[in-house]
Amino acid sequence: MITERILSLGTDLVEISRIEDSLTEFGDRFLEKIFLPEEIAY
């Protein structure tokens, strides 16, 4: 059986206030969920 992988790239639009609220509430745990370690280090 041959399986295919679909690799895609997308952009999500979100209000900055939602990101701020999530950072305040969840801190580093939120960052680690949505960003790669290299992105956090940047």
List the chain domain ranges: 12-42
Residue with the bigger pLDDT between 4 and 33: it is 33
Which of 27, 28, 36, 30 lies closest to 14, judged by CA?
30
Say what percent of the chain tops pLDDT 70.
98
Question: What is the arithmetic mean of pLDDT over 9-28?
Answer: 94
Mean pLDDT score of the chain: 92
Q: Has residue 20 got a pLDDT over 90?
A: yes
What is the secondary structure of 1-42 as a DSSP string?
A: ---------------HHHHHHHHHHHTHHHHHHHS-HHHHH-
The pLDDT of residue 2 is 75
d(CA 1, CA 25): 45
Question: What is the arithmetic mean of pLDDT over 27-35?
Answer: 94
Q: Is the pTM of this model over 0.85?
A: no
